[in-house]
Amino acid sequence: MGASLKDVAARAGVSVKTVSNVVNGYTYVAPHTREKVEKALAELDYRPNLSARNLRRGRTGVIALALPELDAPYFAELSRFVIDAAAERGWTVLIDQTDGLADRERQVLQGIREQLIDGLIFSPLTVGREELAARTDNTPLVLLGERILDGPTHHVAIDNQRAAREMTEHLISLGHTRIGAIGAQDNPSANTAHLRLAGYRQALEAAGLPYDDRLTPSTRSYHRADGAEVMRRLLALDEPPQAVFCFNDLLALGALRTALSAGLRVPQDVAVAGFDDIEDGRYSTPTLTTISPDKGQIARTAVELLDARIGGTGRAARRAEGDAAEVREVEADYRLIVRESTVGTAGA
């Protein structure tokens, strides 16, 4: 075990308190004393023991980021931003992967890591309002990506429904009348999917186009393989769609692959659009039309909200303020980005 405050104090010939003062940059320390202490500190290569400090202060400087899978590019990119934003506040981020499993998500809410983390940023896939309300753990929480209306917690998300509507309108404006959607979910608490589907239907309706549920097959998850497979089914229909709106970019990349290897030209034979604006879609051939949520803004906002919730003074104070503070729902920005997969310029 490294040197402790006591060791340093002994070596410098002062009290622990004085060393502590120096370490924590308190003001009133005589220059001479300070010097002695700093020398001892350096000689012993002192490093504060965070467990002890945390125990005393009642906070740890660690927050958790819980998300379905780190290896889905959208989450990887988002994590990057969250970690950076947290680092600016001197926080360290610890990652919890839920795999989108209901059980694991519930565990996260109940605070597996409690007392180790000062706060939690959580991107749920399946848990709903009830689970949230049932939460007994009172670690500050900010939700991401889901829009659980009137939920009891801070959250930040884009307007999924509006974004989906815009994308569908884009496809309609291109003259397509038979438009598929990939990514509907059977799970009734898959909020995001429902909102995107709702946006899609709204746009169809507004344009007077019929809704055909054969064109909106649900998928098991949101990976490339799901998109590839469902696209095969869509293309096998008597009347295949002229365009497909995929509820995330991975699905779109999978769908793209299926279309291209079937010898179809994209977008001439079938247009493909995604959602999330992951980097892959900027380099695929054709490049991918998509909705680009402002991930940096989402991350920064989440961290800020959490910071406000955690407050400056440890658990006791937090509890007092926290409960009083009202819940905030922040809507993040997004943009529709039109690329080759719907308007095609390249030779593909």
Residues near DNA (CB under 7 A): 1, 4-6, 13-18, 20-21, 23-24, 27-30, 32-34, 46-49, 52-53, 55-57
> Does 309 engage in binding with its own copies (CB under 8 A)?
no
CA dihedral 259, 256, 215, 203 (to 10 degrees): -130
Other Cβ atoms less than 10 A from the Cβ of 175: the count is 9
Token pair 């999924």 in the structure block, residue? 160
> Does 47 engage in binding with its own copies (CB under 8 A)?
yes
Cα(133)–Cα(198) distance, integer angstroms:
25
83 binds, among DNA, its own copies, none (CB under 5 to 8 A by kind): its own copies
Residue from 15, 51, 173, 187 binding its own copies (CB under 8 A): 51
- Binders of its own copies among residues 104 to 143 (CB under 8 A) are 111, 113-116, 136-137
Contact status, residue 286 vs residue 341, Cβ threshold 8 Å:
yes
Residue from 42, 95, 101, 343 binding its own copies (CB under 8 A): 95
| Cα–Cα distances in angstroms (integers) from residue 332 to residues 45, 46, 89, 145, 219, in the given order | 45, 43, 21, 10, 26
Q: In the bound complex, what is the minimum distance in angstroms from residue 203's beta carbon to DNA?
A: 54
| Cα–Cα distances in angstroms (integers) from residue 172 to residues 161, 166, 200, 205, in the given order | 16, 10, 11, 11
DSSP single-letter state for residue 184: B
> Does 39 engage in binding with its own copies (CB under 8 A)?
no
Q: Which is nearer to its own copies, 170 or 318 (CB)?
A: 318
263 binds, among DNA, its own copies, none (CB under 5 to 8 A by kind): its own copies
> Does 242 engage in binding with its own copies (CB under 8 A)?
no
Q: Please identify, among the stretches 159-167, 182-190, 234-242, 311-319, the one whose residues bind its own copies according to the rule CB under 8 A.
A: 311-319
> Does 152 engage in binding with its own copies (CB under 8 A)?
no
- Which residues make beta-bridge pairs with 273? 245, 289
Per DSSP, the three-state class of 310 is helix
39 binds, among its own copies, DNA, none (CB under 5 to 8 A by kind): none
> Does 337 engage in binding with its own copies (CB under 8 A)?
no
Q: In the bound complex, what is the minimum distance in angstroms from residue 38's beta carbon to DNA?
A: 12
Burial of 24 (0-12, 13-18, 19+ CB in 10 A): exposed
Q: Tokens standing for 340?
A: 């080759």
Contact status, residue 9 vs residue 16, Cβ threshold 8 Å:
yes
Q: Which is nearer to its own copies, 39 or 319 (CB)?
A: 319
Residue from 5, 144, 228, 302 binding its own copies (CB under 8 A): 228
Q: In the bound complex, what is the minimum distance in angstroms from residue 96's beta carbon to its own copies?
A: 8
Cα(286)–Cα(272) distance, integer angstroms:
10
> Does 232 engage in binding with its own copies (CB under 8 A)?
no
Q: How many Cα neighbours within 13 Å face the side chain of 140?
A: 33
Cα(40)–Cα(166) distance, integer angstroms:
64
Q: In the bound complex, what is the minimum distance in angstroms from residue 129's beta carbon to its own copies?
A: 21
Q: In the bound complex, what is the minimum distance in angstroms from residue 134's beta carbon to its own copies?
A: 12
DSSP for 38-63, please give it: HHHHHHHT----HHHHHHHHT--SEE
Residue from 106, 129, 135, 282 binding its own copies (CB under 8 A): 282
Q: In the bound complex, what is the minimum distance in angstroms from residue 77's beta carbon to DNA?
A: 35
**Site map 68..87 versus its own copies, x via CB under 8 A:** -xxx-x--xx-xx--xx--x
**Site map 312..331 versus its own copies, x via CB under 8 A:** ---xx--x------------
